[in-house]
Amino acid sequence: MAADDKSSEHDIDQNKPPHSRREFLRSTLGAGLAAGAGLSNQAAFAATDETTPAERPNILWLTCEDIGPHLGCFGDDYADTPALDAFAARSLRYDSCWSTAPVCAPARTTIITGMYPPSTGSEHMRSLTRLPEGFKMFPQYLRTAGYYCTNNAKEDYNLVKPGEVWDDSSRNAHWKNRDPGQPFFAVFNSGVTHESRIRSRPHEAVHDPANAPVPAYQPDTPEVRRDWAQYYDTITTMDRWAGDQLKALDDAGLADDTIVFFYGDHGSGMPRSKRWPYHSGLHVPLIIHIPPKFQHLAPQDYQPGGSTNRLVGFVDLAPTVISLAGIESPNHFQGHAFLGVHEAQEQPFQFGFRGRMDERYDMVRTVRDKRYHYIRNYMPHKIYGQYLDYMFQTPTTRVWKELYDQGKLTATQRRFWETKPPEELYDLQNDPDEINNLAESPEHKRTLEQLRRVQREWALQIRDVGFLPEDEMYSRAPESSPYGLGHDATRYPLDRILPMAEAASSLDGDAMPELLKGLSDEDSAVRYWAAMGFLMHEREGVAEGRNALRETLAGDASPNVRVVAAEALGRYGDDSDLDPALNALRALSRPRENSYYTTLLALNAIDALGLKAAPLRDHIAALSKERDWPPPRGEGYTQQLAARCLTTIG
């Protein structure tokens, strides 16, 4: 959201009675920050500390990985979380908090920037783009204000850090290391609930697997129940850690001076939660405690032990934290503060997304209001449960797929292993597992159309660069950031690219003439989506566009467009199309002749061809042994995918 859409201070004061302490904060802290601009952290701290020594709260974040709101205080009877339940009893529970992204690196990138990763080109798992010149990560604003900022110890951002972000980001980072009297912002992260801990064996179950809650979309087997039980076991272990962190704060005599957040970084590590932008992958626990002396920074509905249904998300955390410190959000922040001096009005929608997950490409965008969740699948020809090497290490994933292959699943349970519809709509109030797609329901047509429109307007507003092949986010603007590229309508004509992506992914046969025209567009992203449209229509589509696709394969200037044309012709063309398609994919997957992301795209296409790609076996075997060329955060993905291709070929 644009900064000028945010509520003014006057608007907030109309909705909430003014507090003399809040007004004091606005005047004195604002003046102190202005005086300290350009000074060192310590100088800025000294300048503001003289004016408001008691008015700036310490801020502590306790975070954990891969959990949904599976805590006793959120009404989960199977959970055993006494420490967090006690914490919630004196805090405010947020029942509608979204992580914005359903996987760690994009989610943490959202938090640290206060921006949607599709707007900064950082949506893809373990990518590494950069912010525009002058944009900062939010702890840098706190440090300028004199805060001592520490992170213990996970970063995992998909963006290059713009300078020194933390005073200390390490296993030794701690608020105890600040200067005397200096306010702190400290993050402590527990990894004990991570996906990898669900499948760690041997493990002696604490929670009885017989009582484990199994969602309707998964098969009810001993393996699945054991994984869910072990997941809850890790949460109980994490709960003790959280209790220890809170006790340490209290023992130091700082509990009354510290605002404490507890949250998880995205949904559970079980399949169809982590990595999928369903409610199960985006809905996270958020609990915030505000001591009595800082009640002027609390929302109007703050009641110890209470809850709120206000829609908040990870994109809102950065503006919220700096608002607690009295700092107004910079113009490039896209979230909205829900606490503090610059609290904004509640927003009616929250947004989510899915990009490349490890070695597999996908593109999903979502939006929810307080009841309904709309999902737009821009690559509906891909199955939900694309093979990911890391995900298949979990027993639930393996047994679920085995039962699918054996034809032993219900229609609801089978869906995860099949292709997607272009649109999905779910009633979160009556269908929290999201198994009843209402997109074709006449009674919900108005809701569908509204949320479809909201999602589209959001993509245009944030200038979503995810409509580019990943390679082109870099190649189109080598001297600037993807964000800067996205805001240049000449280099990134989203007003033409987005309609082609919509036409391609609609699976509407009437769109064929539009797709055919798109294949000759001057912009390669338009051509990419046009080619994708023919691929998504499978045999019917390729039959309609075969001649144009052959011309594209032979002469298009974009390697990414040629990859899609090769996959379409190789999978759904006639016998004469296979050899040209395989020759093109062989050339386009050579790592030292193509970009890393083009190679990854080509390997995905080869894998989709299955047995038809058998003539490439020796080429793929050589790729599976490549080790020294991937970018720093993508190491291993091409090797894993090449190994999978060999398995698929047989």
pLDDT tens for each residue of 442-479: 999 999 999 999 999 999 999 999 999 999 999 998 88
**DSSP output for 106-150:** HHHHHHHHTS-HHHHT--STT--B-PPTT---HHHHHHHTT-EEE
Better-scored residue on pLDDT, 102 or 624: 102
Percentage of residues in the chain having pLDDT higher than 70? 92
Other C-beta atoms closer than 10 Å to the C-beta of 489 total: 11
Alpha-carbon distance 167 to 178, whole Å? 9
* pLDDT at 12 > cutoff 80: no
Q: How confident is the model at residue 41 (pLDDT cuts 50, 70, 90)?
A: very low
- CATH code of the region 3-346: 3.40.720.10
Alpha-carbon distance 401 to 399, whole Å? 5
pLDDT value at residue 166: 98
* Domain spans in the chain, listed from the N-terminal domain onward: 3-346, 468-649
Q: In this structure, which topology does domain 468-649 adopt according to CATH?
A: Leucine-rich Repeat Variant (1.25.10)
Residues 6+ apart with CB under 8 A from 2: 331, 334, 461
pLDDT in tens, 522-573: 999 999 999 999 999 999 999 999 999 999 999 999 999 999 999 999 999 9
pTM: 0.91
* pLDDT at 592 > cutoff 90: no
Percentage of residues in the chain having pLDDT higher than 90? 88
By CB neighbour count within 10 A (0-12 exposed, 13-18 middle, 19+ buried), where does 352 fall? Answer: buried
Question: Rounded to the nearest 5°, which phi and psi values hold at 522?
Answer: -70, -20
Our answer to whether residue 104 is catalytic in this structure is: yes
Give the torsion through C-alpha atoms of 406, 410, 412, 415, to 10 deg. Answer: 20
Task: State which amino acid sits at residue 64.
Answer: C
Alpha-carbon distance 351 to 451, whole Å? 11
pLDDT in tens, 571-589: 999 999 999 999 999 999 9
pLDDT value at residue 261: 98
Catalytic residue among 73, 104, 149, 645: 104
* pLDDT at 37 > cutoff 90: no
* pLDDT at 22 > cutoff 90: no
Alpha-carbon distance 374 to 352, whole Å? 10
Among candidates 314, 406, 381, 391, which has minimal Cα distance to 357? 391
pLDDT value at residue 53: 41
Among candidates 222, 198, 186, which has minimal Cα distance to 271? 198
pLDDT value at residue 13: 30
Q: What is the mean pLDDT of residues 291-309?
A: 96
pLDDT in tens, 82-96: 999 999 999 999 999
